[in-house]
Structure formats: C-alpha cells, structure tokens
Amino acid sequence: MNTRYSARPSAKPSSTRFGSPSRGGHTYSARPSGRFGGGNSRRAPARGGRFNSERIDFARFIKRAEKVEEKPYAPTHTFSDFPFIDRLHKNIAKKGFIYPMPIQDQAITSVLAGRDVFGLANTGTGKTAAFILPLINRVAEKREEHVLILAPTRELALQIEAEFRELAMGLDMFSVAAVGGMPIMKQIKEIKLGVSFVIGTPGRIRDLLDRKVLHLAECRTVVLDEADRMLDMGFRDDMKFILGKLAPERQTLFFSATLSPEIKKMTEEYLKDPLFISVVTRDTSKNVDQDVIRVRGKEEKIEKLHEVLIKDGSEKVLIFRETKRNVDLLETELKSRGFKVGALHGDKRNRERVRTLDNFKENRINVLIATDVAARGLDIPDVTHVINYDVPNTYDTYVHRIGRTGRADKKGIALTFVPA
C-alpha cells in the first residue's frame, strides 16, 4: 500500500508542538506502525465488550426491515453557507457535497465556535466530516492549532486519515496515522518533522507519549470517535492517561452511534458545558432484515452457514466472531469449502489487514470473517449480509455490527446464530 502522499510545498514551515517546527511541507503520512497488533490499548481485551457482557433476549435479533415514510430532513445550511476558507470549499465541492447530513448540519457551526460537543448519530451518516471539516478550517486559519483524534481500531483511524487527506488537499497541513502494525520509528520521524493532526489508537498514542516523542500539553483539541467504545473498560485506563496529558483548557469532541447511561455519565468528567446532538432515528438500521438461525452443535452450525453463503443474494458477507482464534479456524474451514474468504483481527500484520479489507471492498473476496475490529465506523460498500456467527456480548455491539449493511438506503440482512 502506498502510504506517502505528495502535496504542494509550503512557503514556510508549519509550526507544531507535536513535533519539530522544521517540516519542509511536502508529504502527508498515513504509515501505520507499532508492536501492539490491534492498535488498541495494551490492556484492552481481545474481544470487545468482555467486561460488560449482558444477557440479550434473542427476540431482539428478529426484526423486519421497515418501510417507513419518513419526512426528509431539511438542512438549515448548505456546505457553501459554512464560513470555511476558499480552498476547503473547493475540496468539499470536489467531493460533490452540497447539503450536509443531519449530524454535519447541526454540529459544524458549534465545532467551529469551539464548543464541546457530543454527537450521536447512526452509523454511516457522516460523523467524520462533522468534526474533520471545521477542525481543518481552524488549523488552516491559525496554523498554531493542533488536533488529536482517537479511534478504537487502526482500520477506523486509517479511514479518518484518508478522509482528512482528501479534504485537506492543497492546504499545506500534515498528519500521521499513529496506529500499530509497523515499526514505530517511521511515525516518530513524521512527528519530528511536524504534523498538525495526529490520528491514532490509544495503545500507540500512549506508546509515543511514554517515549516522550508526542507532547500534548498544549494540544487544545481532541476528538474521540466511537466514544462509547473508547471509554469502556478495555480502553479506560489509557484514555484517562492520554486525556490527562492534554491542555486543561481545550475543546473536546465525542462522536458515537450508541451511548449507554454509564458512558453518558462518564462524559461529565471530560466535557465542559457540552452541546448534546442526537440525530439517531432508531436503535438499528431501518433497512436491515434481522433474524436468527437456531442450531444444535458445531456441525449443524457450519452447514447452515454454508447454506446461507451459497444462496442467491449472498454477494458480500461479513461474518463476526468473538475471538481471533475462531476467526482463523472459520477462515480455514470456509477456504476448504471453496469460498473466497479473508480474515481480519488484531493479530494480523498491518499489511495483511489493509490488503484483506481492500480485497473485500473491491470484491476480490466476497466473505470477510472478523472480530469486532470491523464493527466500528468502517465504510464498506454494498455488504449484503452481516452474520453474527457468535452471539455478541452486548446489544450495542450488535447495533454496530449490523450497521455495516443496509447502508446508503440499500436493503441488508443480519443473521444471528443462536442455540436451538
């Protein structure tokens, strides 16, 4: 994967407190690195939600896709209304954006004004642009501003960084994707050259802080994407440590698709007089047919999965398992049955993960088996089926998983295997 990007050289070096002010102004960096395979906290559990598992009524996994005549959202702005600099407006127009999504329409002005925001919106509804656009604009105007963006998985961090590159094109600002998977020295070099945006996962960010490469004392803007996952037990210690290193007077932005009462209460510790914005329309996608498949034992389970995969319409299938080992075992089994399949989890090398995800997005494989590293925020086009081969530990996890299908007003199917 090509991970170095060229841009117009800067007339003067851009100052940074993340690294050195001596950067020459000619590259973006998206080169992931680090020895912690998942890019997550070193103390993070191998399976998401282990610490807060719940008993879920299987009836909650059964729901027909709704054909609801919803009143179309009437935005109060167009993108041209926002007070962005000219170059950013050109980049927005190049992507074909005219009318903002609801979370963008309601959040951008407040983020520009410097308010703390908690944005709650369904998956696939434009949360990234809701915070990345106003922050790019601020850095472009002030040049002394620096932004830390935290995500729970390296895939999501890289996706955010890719969107940043498109929207910041020609603005002479630089980023590093600080995630695990490749030697850390490459990221250290980028930070020392000088960056305005550090986009990473908690384990890698903490590692850079421990090495005294990353300095956050005067960083005044932090974003937590998938904030509920970032504040759960798996990441909590690292998040307290990282947020404690930031300037006390700062702007803090949380975005998520789900929010438990426990996590909402916890946000009081980090957000000052926040604006809560909720544009969630329902707890699961209206475009997804949801059902269960009852099975007795492992042999019947794999046979029923085989039947689903060979049915007409099973064109692009994302299968979730709870552990890395079981992901690998199912991948081996399905390959032996002739399926074009890939596996994604935190023990895979970064190059393997990127290649596998690209192969799935580009339809070179049509079955992807993953842990919950694929459940959060990833934009994978045209997934026809999400299959919970293992019952998720929490209903929120279920919501995030099935949000990978039924996107862009297309119908999706979610199937959950449960004991007979």
Residues 136 and 78 in one domain: yes
Residues 209 and 81 in one domain: yes
Residue of higher predicted confidence among 53 and 174: 174
What residues contact 298, with CB distance under 8 A and at least 6 apart? Answer: none
Answer whether residue 17 is part of any domain: yes
CATH code, domain with 27: 3.40.50.300
The reported pLDDT for the residue numbered 385 is 97
Average pLDDT in the 323-331 region?
96
Using pLDDT thresholds of 50, 70 and 90, give the confidence band for residue 142: confident
Dihedral over alpha carbons 404, 363, 332, 41 (to 10 degrees): -40
Domain interval for residue 152: 4-54+65-278
Joined tokens for residue 160: 């955010």
The chain-wide mean pLDDT, for the chain, equals: 85
Answer whether residue 290 is part of any domain: yes
DSSP string for residues in 351-395: HHHHHHHHHHHTTS-SEEEE-GGGSSS---TT--EEEESS--SSH
Q: Quick check: 261 pLDDT over 90? A: no
Answer whether residue 59 is part of any domain: no
The reported pLDDT for the residue numbered 377 is 75
Residue 379 burial (10 A CB sphere; 0-12, 13-18, 19+): middle
pLDDT cut 70: percent of the chain above it = 85
List of E strands, 7-146: 27-29, 117-120
Which of 239, 260, 278 is the endpoint of a domain?
Answer: 278
The greatest distance separating any two alpha carbons of the chain, rounded to the nearest whole angstrom, comes to: 67
The reported pLDDT for the residue numbered 225 is 94
Residues 85 and 112 in one domain: yes
Q: Report the alpha-carbon distance of residue 72 to residue 77 in Å, rounded.
A: 15
Residues 236 and 287 in one domain: no
Q: Quick check: 268 pLDDT over 50? A: yes
Sign of CA dihedral 132, 133, 136, 141: negative
Residues 251 and 328 in one domain: no
pLDDT cut 90: percent of the chain above it = 61
Q: Report the alpha-carbon distance of residue 10 to residue 41 in Å, rounded.
A: 35
Residues 310 and 186 in one domain: no
Residues 289 and 250 in one domain: no
The reported pLDDT for the residue numbered 264 is 86
Residues 317 and 362 in one domain: yes
Which of 278, 311, 332 is the endpoint of a domain?
Answer: 278
Which of 257, 278, 299 is the endpoint of a domain?
Answer: 278
Planar angle of CA 7, 10, 13, nearest 5 degrees: 130
Q: Report the alpha-carbon distance of residue 301 to residue 307 in Å, rounded.
A: 10
Amino acid at 164: F
Choose among 285, 295, 294, 288: nearest CA to 385.
288
Residue of higher predicted confidence among 17 and 242: 242
Answer whether residue 182 is part of any domain: yes
Choose among 121, 116, 152, 147: nearest CA to 133.
147
For 76-115, how does the pLDDT look when each residue is reduced to its tens digit (9 = 90+)? 999 999 999 999 999 999 999 999 999 999 999 999 999 9
Using pLDDT thresholds of 50, 70 and 90, give the confidence band for residue 53: low
What are the residues facing 190 on neighbouring strands? none
Q: Are 268 and 411 in contact (CB under 8 A)?
A: no
Q: Report the alpha-carbon distance of residue 414 to residue 388 in Å, rounded.
A: 8
Residue of higher predicted confidence among 229 and 27: 229
Residues 177 and 241 in one domain: yes
Domain count, the chain: 2
Residues 325 and 215 in one domain: no
Answer whether residue 407 is part of any domain: yes
User: Among 62-71, 80-89, 275-284, whose mean pLDDT is lowest?
Assistant: 62-71
Q: Report the alpha-carbon distance of residue 238 to residue 43 in Å, rounded.
A: 8
Residues 185 and 312 in one domain: no
What residues contact 402, with CB distance under 8 A and at least 6 apart? Answer: 284, 285, 288, 290, 386, 412, 414
Answer whether residue 60 is part of any domain: no
Joined tokens for residue 78: 């167009």
Residues 265 and 228 in one domain: yes
